[in-house]
Amino acid sequence: MKKLILIFVIIIASLNLLYTFGYQGEPMSQLEFLSRTLGSMVILIISIIQLSKVTTKP
Protein backbone atom coordinates (compact mmCIF):
# COMPACT_ATOMS: atom_id res chain seq x y z
CA MET A 1 0.00 0.00 0.00
CA LYS A 2 2.86 2.38 0.82
CA LYS A 3 4.40 1.73 -2.62
CA LEU A 4 1.17 2.70 -4.31
CA ILE A 5 0.94 5.97 -2.37
CA LEU A 6 4.56 6.84 -3.17
CA ILE A 7 4.04 6.10 -6.87
CA PHE A 8 0.95 8.31 -6.83
CA VAL A 9 2.94 11.14 -5.18
CA ILE A 10 5.70 10.77 -7.78
CA ILE A 11 3.17 11.01 -10.62
CA ILE A 12 1.49 14.10 -9.14
CA ALA A 13 4.83 15.86 -8.48
CA SER A 14 6.01 15.08 -12.02
CA LEU A 15 2.80 16.42 -13.54
CA ASN A 16 3.04 19.57 -11.42
CA LEU A 17 6.62 20.11 -12.60
CA LEU A 18 5.62 19.65 -16.25
CA TYR A 19 2.61 21.95 -15.79
CA THR A 20 4.85 24.65 -14.33
CA PHE A 21 7.12 24.64 -17.38
CA GLY A 22 4.24 24.42 -19.86
CA TYR A 23 2.11 27.09 -18.18
CA GLN A 24 0.90 29.71 -20.68
CA GLY A 25 -1.52 31.76 -18.63
CA GLU A 26 -0.89 34.96 -16.73
CA PRO A 27 2.87 35.40 -16.13
CA MET A 28 4.17 33.99 -12.86
CA SER A 29 6.50 35.91 -10.61
CA GLN A 30 10.01 34.55 -10.22
CA LEU A 31 9.29 33.57 -6.62
CA GLU A 32 6.16 31.62 -7.58
CA PHE A 33 7.99 29.85 -10.41
CA LEU A 34 10.94 28.92 -8.19
CA SER A 35 8.75 27.74 -5.34
CA ARG A 36 6.63 25.56 -7.63
CA THR A 37 9.68 24.14 -9.41
CA LEU A 38 11.81 23.50 -6.33
CA GLY A 39 8.84 22.23 -4.32
CA SER A 40 7.96 19.69 -6.99
CA MET A 41 11.58 18.60 -7.36
CA VAL A 42 12.08 18.16 -3.60
CA ILE A 43 8.87 16.14 -3.22
CA LEU A 44 9.82 14.06 -6.27
CA ILE A 45 13.33 13.29 -4.99
CA ILE A 46 12.14 12.44 -1.47
CA SER A 47 9.43 10.15 -2.85
CA ILE A 48 11.87 8.34 -5.12
CA ILE A 49 14.30 7.81 -2.22
CA GLN A 50 11.49 6.52 0.02
CA LEU A 51 10.25 4.21 -2.74
CA SER A 52 13.72 2.77 -3.22
CA LYS A 53 14.01 2.15 0.54
CA VAL A 54 10.62 0.43 0.65
CA THR A 55 11.35 -1.81 -2.33
CA THR A 56 14.83 -2.90 -1.13
CA LYS A 57 13.69 -4.01 2.33
CA PRO A 58 14.24 -7.76 2.85
Tell me how many domains the chain contains.
1
Assigned domain for 31 exists: no
Over 80: is that where the pLDDT of 57 sits? no
The pTM score is 0.83
Check residue 23 and give its pLDDT.
Answer: 84
Assigned domain for 18 exists: no
- For the chain, give the secondary structure using H, E and C: CHHHHHHHHHHHHHHHHHHHHHCCCCCCCHHHHHHHHHHHHHHHHHHHHHHHHHHCCC
Domain ranges, residue 7: 1-13+37-53
Check residue 24 and give its pLDDT.
Answer: 84
Phi, psi for 29 (deg, rounded to 5):
-75, 165
Convert the pLDDT of each residue in 3-53 to its tens digit: 999 999 999 999 999 998 888 888 889 999 999 999 999 999 999 999 999
